[in-house]
Chains A and B, each alone.
Chain A
Amino acid sequence: MRRRARILIAALGVLLALAGPAGARNQLVIGVSQFPPSLNPLIDSTLAKSYVLGMARRPITAYDADWHLVCMLCVTLPSFENGLAERVQLGDGREGVRVTYTLQPGATWGDGVPVSTDDVLFTYEVGKNPSTGVSSAEGFRRILGIEAKDSKTFVVTQDRIDYQYQALADFELLPAHLERAAFADPRTYRFRTRYDTDPTNPGLYFGPYRITELVPGSRVVLERNPTWWGKKPAFERVVVSTVENTAALEANLLAGSIDMIAGEIGMISVDQALAFQRRHGDRFEVLTRPGLFYEHLAVNLDNPILTDLRVRQALLLGLDREAINKQMFGGKQPVADTIVHPLDWVHTDDVRHYPYEPEEARKLLSAAGWNPGSDGIRRNAKGERLSLDLATTSGNRTRELLEQIMQSQWRALGVEVHLRNQPARVLFGETVRKRAYDLALFGWVSAPENVPRSTLYSKEIPTAENGYTGQNSDGYRNPEMDHLIDTIEITLDRSKRADLWHRLQQVYAETLPDLPLFFRADSYVLPKWLKGVRPTGNLYTSTLWIEDWHDAGDQPR
């Protein structure tokens, strides 16, 4: 019986393998390793959600693949030069700005209702209400008021002028005609939003696709949206399929169950992607692009060993980051010098570099008072060992390998490192938040030109008194850095701003609040027939340009 069943299955398998689609494909299956949680764009923002929603909606402004700010849902980017932005005096002597946006005339929700300023005003109501559970409320807090000039044009008054005045960040439009009922009691809005109770309702989406099927934990199916105003997307249907185990994800790709792996949330490490390319380069193309994920070693500057700049410099000089990049990452994750990404227009190379110079590192450690002991580990005058804890997230293969490399290379300098791996929730929820570490290996996501206020400003140090708010867990106090952060935010002139950013990077590299490692690269595994996918490297996902993706048609299956 079992043998017969197996023969039957084999026969079925052969039949199904032969009967494949001929000609241009009308379906694209994307493999991801996280399932998007609730679909409401304002609540619980995660990358998986942005990725899926990027196919079905558009933000008002976004950073494209070249990291320029562009208009997506708006028509023209407002500026002082074109008159769409003007200064305004606020009551208490401060200066604000009034910015005018016009929505795309063709923008229409999937049920035929036009996207209008009604939606803008409604979204503002939802966003500024503290009990609705909107995650990124900073953007809403800056808005003093919104006026609708007509059904497509509106003016936003912001409470300050800073370099980001043109972008309307995190202002994701909600369909007023559908969501107003759910908002009747703001405190229960997040339970009654149609994005979760009725996610396949076409009226929730206005992009090239709309969501037509949702199997929680498994997949999301999207189909072409007839009301989309832009270029018609090539694929009739897109399926986002979740496979959490990365080895199984690759197997799915090879088996044909999925067509591509999304770099933003595929979680494929560069190592794995390069290995895949070596084996299957005939069928697949692997794109890697360094993203805005800054992998670094956070340093607790209040640890007496690490307070000494020479020790921090020695640690960096004694780590062969270039070899790690070449040997571990195939050169795809170049060494970072500061928090600023090389593709960011404010980046400068004119900062102090730390190449691999272990002899220099040893000299620095000796100069700092740490002399080699009998067992190879250095000791200071008091006889204390040069011993540090290194914490990182457990279960992350790349980080586990990295920390062992560091332990090994630093032992050669006479530094003893104890590895303490913890689940991510423990690391971020307890260890980093409460500054209970010596060195911590992790990354944080940034945005183009993102001013590092919460991480480097001296007033943002989490303490028991302030309930551990603030992300400057290193405890970095540098008056020049504070001043630079304050000034950059309000400088609008691009060349002046660039100068300030250059100085900020120099201060960072000189004073080393953290030990920079690299910018993590996202790996996209694409079939050879798929063209038009442009990884952006920033938080605005590649799916925001999904209408450019197409089947080149000239490749065999």
Chain B
Amino acid sequence: MSSHILRRLAESLVVVAAMSFVIYALIGLMPGDPIDLMLSADPHLTSADVARLKALMGIDQPLLKRYGAWAAAALSGDFGYSRLYVEPAVAALLDPLGRSALLMGVSFVTTLALALPLGILAARQPRSLADHAINLASFASISLPSFWIGLMLILVFAAGLGWLPAGGIADVGGGGFIDRLRHLILPVTTLTIVSFGAFARYMRSGLLEVMGQDFIRTARAKGASERRILLGHALRNAMGTVVTIVALSFGGLFSGALVTETLFAYPGMGKLIYDAILGNDFNLALAALLIATVMTLVSNLAADIAYAAIDPRIVYR
């Protein structure tokens, strides 16, 4: 097993290296540069100025050369300067990373807190009214466009009723715990609404699959109560699926949610990556995306390990 893990780690490193090149190339292939946009916005700017600025930024160099320079620096830990934030790329990342981790982390917890009990409830009595209702709610959850539900929440609770702030991280002069909590409520609600459905269904289907197996029938024949069967035997065996799903979603904690962050004016990683890419800020975009890539790979590996640990029937060659 540990040789498998080592092999996966080695493969992941290769993937990260390859991804860095692919992302660099993709951003470099995007035509134009934000400097070109300045021309139509500033009447005193001339094309000569644009050319001069591009040369200053090193944009006129061939892509491979620039990638090589970036890779060499990155290997020694220097991820360069962010063009957008005008500070070292890694430093520019830290605050948004923390904010995204907070937002996504809290949403993750609330989503699971809502989805898992619902899934269990649905699996207890398949085809019952409760099951149908929960199923429908789950389907509704995965079918809603997130920007739509977010906008509706803002219009009702912020603009309409005035109970909650319409966006931002905290009030000016605020920043205390209650203040930050208030500002998190609507974005977390939005994310929870669009995410719980998938998890509830995984929980339900995982449980149903287990419930159909022989050892459950045996336990039932031996006279164990339904409750004990569900919570004791079935749940423990279905946890494998759940843990896998949870582990796989872990990577998303660090890439943020672009749409929600834009709508709620919450400057997290999703927005940062979007702005960095559109702003041709290679250093920042690469630093951010590599973090996201690494987290996804780590979470994939963790998911595989967790599943293997829980289900002894899986053998890795």
Chain A residues near B (Cβ < 8 Å): 9-10, 12-14, 17, 27, 29, 37-38, 44-47, 130-131, 133, 135-139, 169-170, 190-191, 196-197, 215-219, 221, 237, 239, 241-245, 247-248, 250-252, 254-257, 424-426, 428-430, 433, 442-447, 450, 454, 462, 467-471, 539
A171 to chain B, nearest CB (A): 11
Residues on A with beta carbons closer than 8 Å to the beta carbon of B159: 250-252, 254-255
Residues on A with beta carbons closer than 8 Å to the beta carbon of B53: 133, 135
The DSSP consensus for interface residues of chain B is helix
Asked if B96 CB lies within 8 Å of chain A CBs, one says yes
Chain B residues near A (Cβ < 8 Å): 30-34, 36-49, 51-53, 56, 81, 84-87, 92, 95-96, 151, 154-155, 158-169, 172, 178, 182, 185, 262-265, 267, 271-272, 275, 278
Query: In the bound complex, how far is the Cα of B39 from the Cα of A34, in angstroms?
Result: 18
Query: In the bound complex, how far is the Cα of B30 from the Cα of A447, in angstroms?
Result: 31
Contact pick for B87, options A46, A196, A443, CB 8 Å: A196
Contacting pair A217 B48 (CB below 8 A): no
Contacting pair B39 A428 (CB below 8 A): yes
Residues on A with beta carbons closer than 8 Å to the beta carbon of B172: 27, 29, 219, 221, 237, 239
Residues on A with beta carbons closer than 8 Å to the beta carbon of B263: 245, 248
What residue of chain A has the Cβ atom nearest to residue B163's Cβ?
Answer: A13
Contacting pair B163 A9 (CB below 8 A): yes
Residues on A with beta carbons closer than 8 Å to the beta carbon of B33: 425, 429
Provide 17 A-B residue pairs closer than 8 Å at the C-beta atoms, listed in order of the A residue: A12-B178, A37-B84, A38-B85, A46-B41, A136-B42, A136-B49, A138-B44, A139-B44, A216-B85, A218-B265, A248-B265, A252-B159, A252-B167, A255-B165, A257-B168, A424-B37, A425-B30
Do A248 and B95 contact each other (CB < 8 Å), given the known contacts A219-B172, A425-B30? no
Residues on B with beta carbons closer than 8 Å to the beta carbon of A239: 172
Contacting pair B44 A190 (CB below 8 A): no
Residues on B with beta carbons closer than 8 Å to the beta carbon of A447: 43-44
B218 to chain A, nearest CB (A): 36
Contact pick for B278, options A45, A425, A470, CB 8 Å: A425
A1 to chain B, nearest CB (A): 9
| Other contacts beyond A17-B162, A254-B159: 16, CB < 8 A | A13-B164, A38-B86, A46-B38, A130-B52, A169-B44, A217-B96, A217-B272, A243-B168, A248-B263, A251-B155, A252-B265, A426-B32, A428-B37, A445-B42, A447-B43, A462-B47
Query: In the bound complex, how far is the Cα of B280 from the Cα of A44, in angstroms?
Result: 14
Contact pick for A137, options B52, B81, B164, CB 8 Å: B52
What residue of chain B has the Cβ atom nearest to residue A258's Cβ?
Answer: B166
B151 to chain A, nearest CB (A): 6
Contact pick for B265, options A135, A244, A256, A425, CB 8 Å: A244
Residues on B with beta carbons closer than 8 Å to the beta carbon of A218: 168-169, 265, 267
Contacting pair A445 B165 (CB below 8 A): no
Contacting pair B275 A217 (CB below 8 A): yes
What residue of chain B has the Cβ atom nearest to residue A132's Cβ?
Answer: B56
Contacting pair B166 A138 (CB below 8 A): no
Residues on B with beta carbons closer than 8 Å to the beta carbon of A247: 151
Residues on A with beta carbons closer than 8 Å to the beta carbon of B37: 424-425, 428-429
Residues on B with beta carbons closer than 8 Å to the beta carbon of A137: 49, 52
What residue of chain B has the Cβ atom nearest to residue A467's Cβ?
Answer: B51
Residues on B with beta carbons closer than 8 Å to the beta carbon of A47: 41
Contacting pair B265 A10 (CB below 8 A): no
